Amino acid sequence: AALATVPELLGPALGFVGPALGAGAVGVRIKEFAILRTSALQGCSYCINAHTTVSLDVGLTGHEVRALRGETALEEAFVLAAERAMIGWIDALAGATGAIPDDVWAEARAHWAEHELVEVAVTVGATMFLNRFATGLQLPTSPQVLERLTAEGLS
């Protein structure tokens, strides 16, 4: 089931999702942090699989990918305080409900400008929409992606 089967929704959805997931002020590395980590927290295997390959393509290491997927400790994969702060921000947005804890907010603001946090928040929201869409409609991972994951030892 693809969004293209409902043309009246396709245009508006792509008009939001395209810019939200596309290039921006934070760069592709941080965008993929947001997309892959959110997908892992939401348990969307389709998006985890697809964005594992994208993450590798934009330069994340296998160790970083495994950490973002929740398979290894984040602290071991990410040493930069700014990256850790961003992952904490993503976790608070995608993996919890209610208000963002004050300490998470303060740490994120210590390392990132407001427009960068807004951009990542929108990316997380768009990713959560796609996670629910893909999971709800049981979208299968393509054979090509599965082959790549196996070749990378990430299946």
Match domain 3-17+25-152 to its CATH number in 2.40.10.120, 1.20.1290.10, 1.10.3720.10, 3.40.50.300: 1.20.1290.10
Instruction: Please write the tens of the pLDDT for every residue from 55-72.
Output: 999 999 999 999 999 999
Instruction: Please write the tens of the pLDDT for every residue from 37-50.
Output: 999 999 999 999 99
Instruction: Please write the tens of the pLDDT for every residue from 81-104.
Output: 999 999 999 999 999 899 999 999
Is 51 within 8 Å of 85 (Cβ atoms)? no
The two three-digit tokens of residue 102, written as one number? 């004050």
Size (the chain), residues: 155
Which of 103, 35, 26, 101 lies closest to 68, judged by CA? 35
DSSP state of 138: T
Q: What is the pLDDT of residue 10?
A: 87
What number of other Cβ atoms are within 10 A of residue 104's Cβ?
Answer: 18
Question: pLDDT above 90 covers what percent of the chain?
Answer: 88
Identify the three-state secondary structure at position 99.
coil
Identify the three-state secondary structure at position 120.
helix
1: pLDDT strictly greater than 60? no
